[in-house]
Amino acid sequence: MAQEIKVPTLGESVTEATVGEWLKQPGDPVQRDEPIASLETDKVAVEVPSPIAGVMGELKVGVGDTVEVGTVIATVEEGSAGAAKPAAPKVESKDAPAPSPAPAPAQAKAASGDESIAMSPAVRRAVLEAGVDPTQIKGTGKDGRLTKEDVLAAAEAKKSGGAAQAAPAASASPAPAATGERREERVKMTRMRQTIAKRLKGAQENAALLTTFNDVDMSAVIETRNRYKDLFAKKHDIRLGFMGFFSKAACLALRDVPSVNAYIEGDEIVYHDYVDISVAVSAPNGLVVPVVRDVDQKGFAQIEKDIADFGARAKDGTLTMDDMKGGTFTISNGGVFGSLMSTPIINPPQSAVLGLHRIEDRPVVVDGEIVIRPMMYIALSYDHRLIDGREAVTALKIIKEAIEDPARMLIDL
């Protein structure tokens, strides 16, 4: 008996999603509660589990199709999961690009035979561009699936003289050599990327954006971190990073300059007596901003644990809608990618965002002498409709002073 698989409830005010990836194909064995598809919503990817054990049946929609909550997207034939049926043709989206006449070797099949490797469109493109064998790469994503980072790491290892990949089996008609011709590829934007584009453009159109800068001597924080990192890790089972310091420093600034922790709604200003910090983290489909709740009430260890958990789940694509709700202020760390300076864009309806950047040794003047110090540029972008320049500069200065003298965070100065 066939069981219909429908699009589940996706979250508050979310009524539709895009089919991002089929994790099972017709004829594949399926266990109860095993994910069979990944749907992309405006903010997160949602996996659709099978309600029964059996064999994957018909796929009603294709990758890239937009589906509403309650729509039947597939069927599962109830019965023994081991008695797999012959695989039916894969449903493709009408918007999906036509398959290449000469696909990369081992792209879609595992080395052991005909077991398909589940790869998202982004990972599949990375495999094609890098020219690596996905069957030889250990996946670090959920359930061992390949991520784009896995593919890029394998490509880098190959370039730097890593183990040579096994030569593909000889085919009847080898792929033609590159002729140097210029090519273009059209790829439909994911729902998440479309939403990111709309929100960022909306922030520019609706807010009066301005950015103020400062630089921070990171010597004291680095010294403190080096002195206590081993004890911290042993006691709390988490690495002591820099985000904990900047999160607590931001709490001091937001308390003293409450407009930076507020937002405009109609003709009113909404102030918060709590601090929920949205932390920008990189996910395979784009930048996401999960929220660390009540940062002003948490210690360094819990803040670091929350951020580490969000980072891991963003990579695996397991963040939920609830993880993304709310947020009164955002911290974006472009320094992990090597950024020296930037003007971050606020995350509506918030009114301010703190941008962090890379640390580099620079000559500075201290007590009349030129010395070399580890310096970081920091930026505060803000909505000038609500936050005056004096308030923005003051808030950034408080953050700078707290980082340069971490004891301020302990004695609440």
Domains and CATH numbers, the chain: 1-96 (2.40.50.100), 102-162 (4.10.320.10), 205-410 (3.30.559.10)
Q: How confident is the model at residue 196 (pLDDT cuts 50, 70, 90)?
A: confident
**Which pLDDT score, from 0 to 100, does residue 231 have?**
95
Separation CA 19–CA 162 (nearest Å): 36
DSSP character at residue 30 = E
pLDDT at residue 163 above 90? Answer: no
Q: Provide the pLDDT for residue 305.
A: 95
Question: Which residue has better confidence, 194 or 227?
Answer: 227
* 177 backbone dihedrals φ, ψ, rounded to 5°: -70, 150
pLDDT at res. 138: 82
Active site residue 388: yes
pLDDT above 90 coverage of the chain, percent:
44
pLDDT of residue 99: 45
Greatest mean pLDDT range, 93-102, 126-135, 156-165: 126-135
pLDDT band at 325 (very low <50, low <70, confident <90, very high): confident
Strand, helix or coil at 99? coil
Among residues 95, 256, 322, 388, the one annotated as catalytic is 388
Task: Please report the pLDDT score of residue 1 as a whole number.
Answer: 76
Convert the pLDDT of each residue in 292-303 to its tens digit: 999 999 999 999
Annotated catalytic residue, options 33, 143, 384, 405 = 384
pLDDT surpasses 70 at 312: yes
pLDDT tens digits for range 237-276: 999 999 999 999 999 999 999 999 999 999 999 999 999 9
What pLDDT shows up at residue 136? 81
Supply the mean pLDDT for the chain.
82
* Top mean-pLDDT range of 50-59, 71-80, 162-171: 50-59
Please confirm, yes or no, whether 316 is among the known catalytic residues: no
Mean pLDDT of 348-353: 94
pLDDT band for 171, please (50, 70, 90 cuts): very low
Strand, coil or helix: what is 108? coil
Helix (H) or strand (E) holding 216: strand 209-217
- Nearest-angstrom CA–CA distance, 348 and 379: 18
Q: CA triplet 72, 74, 76: central angle to 5 degrees?
A: 125
- Phi and psi based region of residue 98 (left: phi greater than 0; alpha: psi -120 to 50; beta: remaining): beta
Higher pLDDT, 358 or 200: 358
**Burial bucket for residue 82 (CB in 10 Å: 0-12, 13-18, 19+):** exposed
